[in-house]
Amino acid sequence: MRSGSARRARRAVFLLATAGLGLQFGIGDLSAQVTAPNPTFTWQVVVNNGVVVPGDTRSFNSYNQPSVNVDGLVVFRARSKGGASGQPAHGVYLRDMALKTNVVRLFDRRTLVPDPNNLGAAFTEPPSFPRIDMWSATAASRANHRPTWRYLLTDGTESRAGTSGIYTNPFGELMTGASVLGAVPTFGFFAVPDIDGLRFDVFPGAPAVTDTNTIVFKGNYTQASVAHTGVYYRELADAPAGGAAPAVVIANTETLIPGSRTPFGSTAPPSAAGRRAVFAGFDNEEHPTKGGIYLAPLDDHSKRRLTALVGIGDPVPGERKRVVFNRLGEGVSFDGRFVAFWGAWGSEVRSLTLYCGEEGNAERVAYCLQQYPAGFTTTVPKHQGIFVHDIRNGRTVAVAKTGANFDDFLYWNFSGMVPGTGSSDDDGEPARWRAATFVAVSGLVDGKLTDANYHVAFKGRRVEGVAGDSVDGIYLAAGPGTTSFAVVCQTGMDGTLFDAAAIDPLSQTPLPVTTVGIERDGFRGRWLTINASMGTEDAGWAGIYLTGVPERWLGRTSS
Distance CA 71, CA 524 (A): 8
> pLDDT truncated to tens, each residue of the chain (559 aa)?
344 433 433 333 333 333 333 333 222 333 332 233 456 789 999 999 999 999 999 999 999 999 999 999 999 999 998 766 568 899 999 999 999 999 999 999 999 999 999 999 999 999 889 999 999 999 999 999 999 999 999 899 999 999 999 999 999 999 999 999 999 999 999 999 999 899 999 999 999 999 999 999 999 999 999 999 999 999 999 999 999 999 999 999 999 999 999 999 999 999 999 999 999 999 999 899 999 999 999 986 555 689 999 999 999 999 998 999 999 999 999 999 999 999 999 999 999 999 998 776 778 889 999 999 999 999 999 999 999 999 999 999 999 999 978 999 999 988 887 887 654 445 556 888 989 999 999 999 989 999 999 999 999 998 776 566 789 999 999 988 777 788 999 999 999 999 999 999 989 999 999 999 999 999 999 999 999 999 975 679 999 999 999 876 544 433 3
User: In 3-state terms, what secondary structure has residue 497?
Assistant: helix
Give the CA distances from residue 116 to residues 33, 162, 236, 419, 553, in Å, rounded to whole numbers and listed in that order.
59, 9, 15, 28, 50
Encoded amino acid at 530, one letter: I
- pLDDT per residue as tens digits for the range 141-158: 999 999 999 999 989 999
Q: Which H or E element spans position 242? A: none
The region that residue 346 occupies, defined by phi over 0 for left and psi between -120 and 50 for alpha, beta otherwise, is left
The pTM of the full predicted model, rounded to 2 decimals, is 0.90
The whole-angstrom separation of Cα 144 and Cα 101 is 28
Per DSSP, 423 falls in state: -
Reported as a single tens digit per residue, the pLDDT across 252-281 is 999 999 999 999 999 999 999 999 999 999
User: Domain boundaries in the chain?
Assistant: 1-48+61-72+438-559, 111-312
* CA within 13 Å, CB half, 238: 5
Closest among 206, 205, 197, 191 to 241, alpha carbons compared:
191
Q: Is 492 exposed, middle or buried (0-12, 13-18, 19+ CB in 10 A)?
A: middle
